């Protein structure tokens, strides 16, 4: 197969050609010698790759394989819970990538990679041949890490809402219909998971909503960790406005070392059982699940039997095949955390490396930043600035800073405002 010419390959894979014709092919006709870059996954990593590849190479053929017709941003989706955003605002589609960036979009599942044939097997659209493949499938959730929790429950009465969408709305509705003085229990997972401060932001936004509508309600955060990002800010804010540390606190946080880790869900009795055997009955239960690499990364062997996909941090080339690159949360990129900001920056490095190779150039030295925001309330923002470099094939954290100031209301307002400006800017940087 390796020896087949591109033309023969295309002939053999007629189905692939038809597939791109049927599913949203762009108006451009591509040169027969144009290399074909295929991207699996149209989230932040995949969409960034498509857009930024087109910006630096007008002639390459780009195909994006993504099962959903729309993408709902996770950054900003906790805002559903304090009613400062709607799902509609967070929803984008692939029309701009298709029309403005001439990306072929195939609405289908990618199921497997034929490495020797250099083609992706889709569920309903046959094979799609590639010269270079970028894989950005995100994480999957290990629901059974909490005994008794499963997919049916997540899609039913126990939404994790860790992927923005119907479950987010469901969680909000559950909070709304909770009786006065009811309890919400949130299980916060061990690292690594996407957006480390998000469970605490979620609890904060719920508290903000409850303060107006159900002021005697309680939120209990049961943690599998002993600390968390922006902890100083969150605890300070909760102390100042939610009575944290008093008998009347709306929010309680239980660290792992105090038995906070959730081990089991008793769905029938709406009860969580923690590591030290405490049984906590709650009106609303939100289990944020443990993460692992997406099934696609495991099925295709990209993860090499590990939890995450090992990559060469210089280019995010996979360890399995030199023509396959992997970006985003699915990768083993520690000491980086898993954020959309970093996923988009992985993607920019990958497309530069691919185009450099097309042009016979060595890959450039990369740099990855994670300059991100979170909120504790509509009037309180925080920022983080992380920078990573690559030295001797390893990712080195050059600097990490979290905002520190506590007693400056003006600054909290500015940061909250900046956070909201940032969310829009970030969505546009990837999808507009």
Sites for another protein among residues 200-259 (CB under 8 A): 220, 225-229, 231-232, 235, 245, 247, 249, 252-255, 258-259
Piece of the chain touching another protein by CB under 8 A; list 115-123, 130-138, 208-216, 379-387: 379-387
Where do the DSSP E strands lie in 82-192? 91-93, 103-106, 110-114, 119-122, 127-129, 132-135, 139-142, 183-188
Helix (H, G, I), strand (E, B) or coil at 280: strand
Q: Which is nearer to another protein, 125 or 370 (CB)?
A: 370
User: In the structure encoding, which two tokens stand for residue 138, read together?
Assistant: 């995100």
Judged by CB under 8 A, does residue 409 bind another protein?
A: yes
Q: In what order do the strands lie in the sheet with 331-332?
A: 103-106, 61-65, 36-40, 132-135, 324-326, 317-318, 309-312, 331-332
Number of residues binding to another protein, judged by CB under 8 A? 85
Under rule CB under 8 A, residue 181 binds another protein: no
Instruction: Tell me the longest C-alpha to C-alpha distance in the chain.
Output: 74
**Residue with Cβ nearer another protein (211 or 255):** 255
In a 3-state reduction of DSSP, which class is residue 2?
A: coil
Residues 56-75 close enough to bind another protein by CB under 8 A = 58-59
Instruction: Considering the complex, state which of residue 4 and residue 406 has its C-beta at the smaller distance from another protein.
Output: 406
54 is an interface residue for another protein by CB under 8 A: yes
Q: Would you say 100 or 295 has its CB closer to another protein?
A: 100
CA distance 21 to 334: 40
Considering the rule CB under 8 A, would residue 280 count as an interface residue with another protein?
A: yes
Considering the complex, what minimum distance in angstroms separates the CB of residue 379 from another protein? Answer: 7
Q: Does 100 bind another protein (CB under 8 A)?
A: yes
What is the Cα–Cα distance from 105 to 238, expressed in whole angstroms?
45
Q: Is 312 in the site for another protein (CB under 8 A)?
A: no
Examine residue 426 and tell whether it contacts another protein (CB under 8 A): yes
3 state SS of 208: helix
CB closer to another protein out of 29 and 268: 29
Rule CB under 8 A: say whether 271 interacts with another protein: no
What span, in angstroms and rounded, lies between the C-alpha atoms of 122 and 16?
Answer: 9
> How far apart, in whole angstroms, are the C-alpha atoms of residue 417 and residue 431?
22
Q: What is the closest distance, in whole angstroms, from the C-beta atom of residue 304 to another protein in the complex?
A: 27
Q: Is residue 334 at the binding interface for another protein, with CB under 8 A as the rule?
A: no
Our finding on whether 25 is near another protein (CB under 8 A) is no
With a CB cutoff of 8 Å and minimum separation 6, the contacts of 123 are 108, 109, 110, 111
Q: Which stretch binds another protein (CB under 8 A): 49-57, 65-73, 111-119, 318-326?
A: 49-57
Of 120-128, 129-137, 138-146, 365-373, the segment contacting another protein by CB under 8 A is: 365-373
104 contributes a contact to another protein by CB under 8 A? no
User: Alpha helix (H) ranges present in 265-366?
Assistant: 295-299, 340-358
Nearer to another protein, 306 or 391 (CB): 391
Cis amide linkage into residue 192, ω under 30° from 0: yes
Cis peptide before 370 (omega within 30 of 0): no
**Of 193, 209, 296, 422, the one binding another protein by CB under 8 A:** 422
Q: Binding to another protein by residue 29, rule CB under 8 A?
A: yes
Q: Cite the beta strand spans of 294-379 per DSSP E.
A: 309-312, 317-318, 324-326, 331-332, 367-377
Q: List, in sequence order, every beta strand (DSSP E) within 189-281.
A: 218-223, 251-254, 262-266, 271-274, 279-281
Pull the structure tokens for residue 95: 């029309």
The dihedrals phi and psi of 348, each to the nearest 5 degrees, come to -65, -35
Give, as ranges, the residues between 111 and 170 that touch another protein (CB under 8 A).
none
Q: How far is the C-alpha of 171 from the C-alpha of 160, rounded, in Å? A: 8
Least distance to another protein from the beta carbon of 298, Å? 28
User: Which of 21, 156 has the CB closer to another protein?
Assistant: 21
Establish if 319 lies at the interface with another protein (CB under 8 A): no
Residues 342-361 touching another protein, rule: CB under 8 A, are 344-345, 348-349, 352
């Amino acid at each position: 197969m390796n020896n087949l010419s591109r033309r023969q390959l295309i002939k053999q894979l007629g189905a692939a050609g038809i597939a791109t014709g049927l599913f949203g092919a762009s108006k451009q006709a591509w040169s027969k010698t144009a290399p074909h870059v295929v991207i699996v996954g149209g989230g932040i990593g995949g969409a960034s790759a498509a857009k930024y590849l087109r910006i630096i190479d007008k002639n390459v053929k780009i195909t994006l394989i993504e099962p959903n017709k729309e993408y709902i941003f996770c950054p900003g989706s906790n805002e559903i819970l304090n009613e400062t955003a709607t799902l509609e605002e967070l929803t984008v589609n692939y029309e701009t990538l298709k029309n403005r960036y001439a990306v072929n979009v195939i609405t289908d599942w990618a199921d497997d990679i034929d490495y020797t044939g250099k083609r992706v097997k889709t569920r309903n659209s046959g094979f799609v041949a590639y010269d270079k493949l970028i894989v950005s499938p995100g994480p999957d959730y290990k629901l059974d890490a909490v005994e008794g929790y499963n997919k049916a429950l997540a899609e039913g009465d126990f939404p994790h809402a860790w992927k923005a969408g119907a479950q987010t709305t469901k969680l909000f509705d559950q909070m709304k219909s909770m009786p006065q003085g009811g309890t919400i229990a949130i299980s916060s997972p061990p690292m690594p998971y996407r957006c480390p401060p998000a469970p605490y932001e979620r609890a904060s936004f719920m508290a903000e909503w409850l303060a107006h509508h159900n002021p005697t309600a309680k939120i209990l955060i049961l943690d599998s960790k002993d600390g968390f990002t922006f902890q100083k800010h969150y605890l300070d804010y909760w102390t100042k406005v939610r009575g944290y540390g008093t008998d009347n606190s709306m929010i309680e946080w239980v660290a792992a070392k105090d038995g906070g880790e959730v081990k089991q869900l008793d769905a029938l009795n709406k009860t969580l059982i923690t590591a030290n055997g405490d049984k906590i009955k709650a009106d609303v239960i939100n289990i944020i699940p443990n993460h692992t690499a997406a099934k696609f990364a495991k099925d295709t062997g990209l993860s090499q039997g590990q939890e995450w996909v090992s990559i060469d941090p210089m280019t995010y080339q996979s360890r399995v095949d030199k023509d396959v690159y992997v970006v985003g949360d699915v990768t083993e990129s520690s000491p980086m955390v898993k954020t959309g900001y970093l996923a988009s920056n992985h993607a920019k490095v990958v497309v530069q490396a691919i185009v450099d190779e097309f042009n016979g150039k060595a890959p450039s030295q990369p740099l990855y930043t994670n300059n991100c925001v979170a909120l504790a309330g509509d009037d309180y923002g925080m920022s983080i600035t992380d920078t990573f470099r690559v030295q001797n094939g390893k990712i080195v954290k050059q600097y990490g800073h979290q905002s520190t100031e506590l007693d400056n209301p003006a600054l909290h307002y500015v940061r909250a405002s900046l956070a909201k400006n940032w969310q829009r800017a970030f969505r546009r940087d990837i999808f507009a």
